[in-house]
């Protein structure tokens, strides 16, 4: 299992409407319009992303905001393999394992704030 928290400026996006909309390269069934959330008094749109294939799963939560004329994205992404597919049933990644990994990532997300 691998997981990460990241913060990015989406430089190619210069309009608020585009920033706060679902990106065409994100996959999630069914497609969603985003959910408003607040992180440290800043408003974001939350989008869920996912990919599945050959025993592997990738999930993400993308938080977008338009701040002082720029588009920013906070992201929590994780990926894991269905170990049963690799004939190692004793190493199956459980929901509890994923939740345990998410705790420090949530801490990082909830500590985010703009310095300017």
* Cα 23 to Cα 47: distance, rounded to the nearest angstrom: 9
Query: What integer pLDDT is reported at residue 83 of this predicted model?
Result: 58
Residue 75 lies in a domain: yes
Over residues 44-81, the pLDDT tens digits come to 999 988 776 676 778 889 999 999 999 999 999 988 77
Does residue 66 lie within any of the structural domains? yes
Between the alpha carbon of residue 73 and those of residues 2, 40, 92, 94, the distances in Å are: 20, 15, 31, 28
pLDDT at 101: 83
CATH number assigned to the domain comprising residue 37? 3.30.310
pLDDT value at residue 18? 93
Find the domain containing 65 and state its range: 2-111
Task: Kindly report the pTM of this predicted structure.
Answer: 0.82
Q: What is the pLDDT of residues 16-52, one digit of tens each?
A: 999 998 887 676 666 667 899 999 999 999 998 877 6
116 belongs to a structural domain: no
Structure-derived torsion over alpha carbons of residues 55, 46, 68, 108, reported in degrees to the nearest 10: -70
**How many distinct structural domains can be found in the chain?**
1
């Amino acid at each position: 299992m691998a997981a990460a928290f990241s913060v990015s400026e989406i430089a190619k996006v210069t309009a608020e409407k585009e920033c706060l909309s679902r990106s065409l390269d994100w996959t999630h069934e069914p497609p969603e319009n985003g959910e408003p959330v607040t992180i440290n008094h800043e408003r974001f749109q939350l989008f869920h992303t996912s990919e599945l294939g050959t025993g592997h799963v990738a999930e993400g939560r993308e938080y977008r905001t338009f701040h002082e004329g720029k588009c920013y994205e906070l992201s929590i992404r994780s990926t894991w393999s269905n170990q049963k597919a690799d004939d190692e049933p004793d190493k199956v990644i459980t929901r509890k394992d994923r939740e345990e990994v998410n705790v420090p990532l949530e801490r990082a997300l909830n500590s985010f704030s703009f310095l300017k």
